[in-house]
Structure 1
Amino acid sequence: MPPRSLVPSVGRSSQAPPLATRAKAEEPIEGEDHLGVAPPPNYCWGAKRSRTNNNNWRDWSNLGDGPLGLIAERVLAFDVADYLRFRAVCRPWRHCSTEPHTHGGLDRRFHPWRWVLLREPLAAPNRRCFLNSFTGEFIQVDLPELLDHELLAVTPEGLLVLLHDHNHVRLLNPLTRHVTELPPLTMLLPSKDHVMLSYFNIDDFLATGSGIASDDSTVVLCFNRFRILGMAKPGDDHWILLKYNHDGFTDTPLMFAGRFYYVKVDGVMALQICPNQPPRLEVAAKLNMHVSPISEGLHLVNSCGDLMLIHRQIVPLTSPDKSCYQYDMYRVNLDTGTLLPVKSLGGGAGRAMFWGMHCSFSVPLEVFPSGSISADTIYPSFDFTERSLLEVGAYHLLDGHIERPSGLLQRPNTLVDCLSLSNTVDDE
């Protein structure tokens, strides 16, 4: 059931009063866990506190199944966290809305795809913060599964890829707490590699690039270090194995719009899964550039629904105040199979990209304090050498200007530091 700790610590930009003030309070059902629905505290990014008039109170709990059902559908279409809060208000609201656990764990309606898991070195072992990359809201969630599971990856759908006893693979929805069982790793790795599970090293089993395929029934598990893909459906007893070669270019394979992508010398490659046919890899876009795997890197990222490629280069220094790192960004046009240079991340007030070696996300500027983040800017995580060597803290796409970071911080003290640390996998 949903965790009690799903209470906003930073409010959304909304004029509507909290759900708890809009419906008649009711005692919880015995044995059923509930979300907290306390109103957000006063410190809200870009939000104003709503005001209610007790003289205009209405018994919204008796609105009727028809209107309530329609409201529930629209709330769910926007965000599953709000939907869980909606269901937690009272018994009538809960009865007119669908229980997430009655549906399979791959049902996209209940996936927290807007929420980004934030890494916090000093957090409790079973508690994590999540950021809504559309609204700027933060929530804390208790996840007792993290006490006895390894976290291998977070999928684009917001699901956690977990490993239990170094063998059993599970998908966890961190908000609904729905667990999906998948075949064990021993049914994917060749027999000669099973010994690696006995001497388990999390760095070998980072599953960046994993996610749910476009058929909404297949899970794609990627181990980029081994250059293997596994495909299985819930209830299967084995994985379908597919090996690939990335020529040393791809540190960040990506699931985008239900398809697996990675980069090799031939171009941007895509996984095709068709009924009654073996899965195959094909070229989705040509590179049309020479790339050295020694001094250059190619990184795929999702920028608010656009598949982007970042070309990272080490270039000769032209002056002491310049950096030896250069970045070019391209939009991958899947219709024409070409790369288009871009200098903007789009968005009304602008967007910024927090770019990690293993995961990335973009955020809109309007939901954060003015001046805290710059538009059309790439912020590298602490995974990258240029960030840890204090050479690149931010790269502005429009003019190529580079900001140097203020220092290496054991604990972040700015918003940029916090978000840059959140997608850092290895900062030791």
Structure 2
Amino acid sequence: MTSDSRDWAALEDGPAGLIADRLLARDVADYLRFRSMCRTWRRCSADPRAHGGLDRRFHPRLWVLLQERLGGTNSRCFLNTTTGQCIQVDLPELRDHYLLAHTPEGLLVLLQQLPQLGNVRLLNPLTRHIIELPPLTSLLPQEKHHVLFHGNIRYFKAWGSGIAYDDSLVVLCFYSLRLLGVAKPGDECWTLVEFDNRLQTSPLMFAGRFYYFSTDGLMVLKTSPPGPPRIEEAARRHMAVSASSSTSHLVDNAGELMMVHRVSSREEGETRWSWRYAMYRVDLGTRTLVRVNSFGGGRALFLGMDCSLSVPVGVFPSGSISSDTIYFKFDLEEWTEVEAYHLSDRSIEPAKFNLDGVVPQPHTLADLLSLSESHSFMISRNLQRKYYMDPFFDATSLRLCTI
């Protein structure tokens, strides 16, 4: 051994434990890499599997699931929204489970397939911890059981689901079925919560609370005593809303709650209807919505019908995406005509298609993020075939490694 070499495996428990704690505070993926290096480092750091699945320290909150399958059918990619890094993870659990959603904590909402159809689980894709939850049949009214057992899984998109702020309660939302339930691991059944979802809106778990937009305003699920779980007003609405001509999309913008109001309208002299967009910051202190023209901090938004994704522009290759810009996911009506909407001057960037009606190759970073699994549950059958067959990564876009 040369004089300037270091035996890192012999690092004492104190310094090694301090390094492990700092890595865990930043990103559980880095922490797991640290633990995988040697037995000594594993001994001085906490084993995630020895702690409960609701322990937020071990949640991959910085990672979102991408749509594309790599290699085998159970191999998936996760994107770190703060660094632009991608990792490939093999998830054998997907062999016999339906994937219903991706929570803000980075967990996957799974529904077991036949013969145990109806068992609900949360999976931590990096630590492989599984949280067992009450069966879905305990939340569904009897007259809706046929929807589940006839294989109509498309109705069970669970965006808006996640873990409540007290780290003991799981919120499960099936917005299209008008079902909202809460339960703790070990409970025998879900507690049903009544809520109004007449508008087209994407619900959101933000800071451990469930929010959605209704005809009354921004609503929040309160789970703390006294009383049972209940819906209360969080902010007042001051714009016109319509179930037929507008949608509302809640966004976690780097820890700030925001809302995009999307309205179909036709101005004087125009011959066709088009979508227009307004961005609001939610001020929970004053219970108001404040109109803004920027996401702040050089960020871009990928807007979807069910869920949306805010990312920092600076961590991705220069020119791949623009700040203060809304990019449209493939589950929105305008994606065939509009690729992006720039907040600063309200200009539209036309969509790019070839003669086959699909996005030309090589796919841009905006294309890849527009197909992220955690924000676009369903795409058309033809597009699904096309994208699953195409090469996914380009050397100029994302970095790929395996964990």
Residue 181 of structure 2 is aligned to residue 225 of structure 1 = no
Q: Taking structure 1 as reference, are residues 356 and 287 closer, same or farther at Cα in structure 2, changes over 3 Å only?
A: same
1:73 alignment partner, SS class: helix
Residue 281 of structure 2 is aligned to residue 331 of structure 1 = yes
Aligned with 1:216 (options 157, 167, 172):
167
Structure 2 CA distance, aligned partners of 1:346 and 1:370? 18
Residue 335 of structure 2 is aligned to residue 387 of structure 1 = yes
Structure 2 CA distance, aligned partners of 1:346 and 1:402? 20
Q: Taking structure 1 as reference, are residues 148 and 319 closer, same or farther at Cα in structure 2, changes over 3 Å only?
A: farther
Residue 343 of structure 2 is aligned to residue 397 of structure 1 = yes
2:68 alignment partner, SS class: coil
| Aligned position for 2:398 | none
Residue 6 of structure 2 is aligned to residue 58 of structure 1 = yes
1:119 alignment partner, SS class: strand
Instruction: Tell me, yes or no, if the aligned pair for 2:70 and 2:76 is still in contact at 8 Å.
Output: no
| Aligned position for 1:313 | 263
| Aligned position for 2:390 | none
Instruction: Tell me, yes or no, if the aligned pair for 1:188 and 1:238 is still in contact at 8 Å.
Output: yes
Structure 1 CA distance, aligned partners of 2:361 and 2:56? 35
Instruction: Tell me, yes or no, if the aligned pair for 1:412 and 1:418 is still in contact at 8 Å.
Output: no
Structure 2 CA distance, aligned partners of 1:314 and 1:230? 32
Structure 2 CA distance, aligned partners of 1:275 and 1:123? 48
Structure 2 CA distance, aligned partners of 1:318 and 1:416? 33
Aligned with 1:378 (options 304, 326, 332):
326
User: Which is bigger in relative contact order (C-alpha 8 A, separation at least 6)?
Assistant: 2
Structure 2 CA distance, aligned partners of 1:412 and 1:295? 35
Q: Taking structure 1 as reference, are residues 377 and 295 closer, same or farther at Cα in structure 2, changes over 3 Å only?
A: same
Map Cα deviations across residues 200-244 of structure 1 (whole Å, 9 max, x no partner).
Answer: 212111111000001100000001012121111111111111121
Structure 2 CA distance, aligned partners of 1:265 and 1:323? 23
Instruction: Tell me, yes or no, if the aligned pair for 1:323 and 1:402 is still in contact at 8 Å.
Output: no
Instruction: Tell me, yes or no, if the aligned pair for 2:65 and 2:79 is still in contact at 8 Å.
Output: yes
Q: Taking structure 1 as reference, are residues 145 and 315 closer, same or farther at Cα in structure 2, changes over 3 Å only?
A: same
| Aligned position for 2:95 | 147
354-363 or 98-107: bigger deviation: 354-363
TM-score (normalised: structure 1): 0.83
Instruction: Tell me, yes or no, if the aligned pair for 1:153 and 1:160 is still in contact at 8 Å.
Output: yes
1:194 alignment partner, SS class: helix
Q: Taking structure 1 as reference, are residues 185 and 151 closer, same or farther at Cα in structure 2, changes over 3 Å only?
A: same
Task: Choose between structure 1 and 2: higher strand proportion.
Answer: 2
Instruction: Tell me, yes or no, if the aligned pair for 1:212 and 1:219 is still in contact at 8 Å.
Output: yes
Report how far residue 275 of structure 1 moved: 3.3
Report how far residue 86 of structure 1 moved: 0.2
Aligned with 2:199 (options 248, 254, 269):
248
1:162 alignment partner, SS class: strand
Residue 221 of structure 2 is aligned to residue 275 of structure 1 = no
Structure 2 CA distance, aligned partners of 1:143 and 1:295? 40
Q: How does 1:12-411 map to 2 (within 5 A)?
A: 56-120=4-68, 124-165=72-113, 166-250=117-201, 252-275=202-225, 277-316=227-266, 324-347=274-297, 350-388=298-336, 390=337, 392-407=338-353, 408-409=358-359
2:105 alignment partner, SS class: coil
Look up the equivalent residue of 1:283 and give its one-letter code.
E
Residue 376 of structure 2 is aligned to residue 424 of structure 1 = yes
Q: Taking structure 1 as reference, are residues 287 and 71 closer, same or farther at Cα in structure 2, changes over 3 Å only?
A: same
| Aligned position for 2:363 | 413
TM-score (normalised: structure 2): 0.88
Q: Taking structure 1 as reference, are residues 321 and 61 closer, same or farther at Cα in structure 2, changes over 3 Å only?
A: farther
Structure 2 CA distance, aligned partners of 1:123 and 1:243? 43
Instruction: Tell me, yes or no, if the aligned pair for 1:356 and 1:383 is still in contact at 8 Å.
Output: yes
Structure 2 CA distance, aligned partners of 1:156 and 1:296? 25
Report how far residue 147 of structure 1 moved: 1.1
| Aligned position for 2:395 | none
Structure 1 CA distance, aligned partners of 2:3 and 2:98? 52
2:127 alignment partner, SS class: coil
Instruction: Tell me, yes or no, if the aligned pair for 2:78 and 2:87 is still in contact at 8 Å.
Output: yes
Unaligned runs of 5+ in 1: 1-23, 25-53
Map Cα deviations across residues 137-177 of structure 1 (whole Å, 9 max, x no partner).
Answer: 01000000111100011000000000003300000000000
Q: Taking structure 1 as reference, are residues 67 and 375 closer, same or farther at Cα in structure 2, changes over 3 Å only?
A: same
| Aligned position for 2:391 | none
Q: Taking structure 1 as reference, are residues 323 and 66 closer, same or farther at Cα in structure 2, changes over 3 Å only?
A: farther
Q: Taking structure 1 as reference, are residues 323 and 138 closer, same or farther at Cα in structure 2, changes over 3 Å only?
A: farther
Structure 2 CA distance, aligned partners of 1:411 and 1:82? 33
Report how far residue 135 of structure 1 moved: 0.4
Map Cα deviations across residues 232-260 of structure 1 (whole Å, 9 max, x no partner).
Answer: 1111111111121122232x111100000
Look up the equivalent residue of 1:263 and give its one-letter code.
F
| Aligned position for 1:32 | none
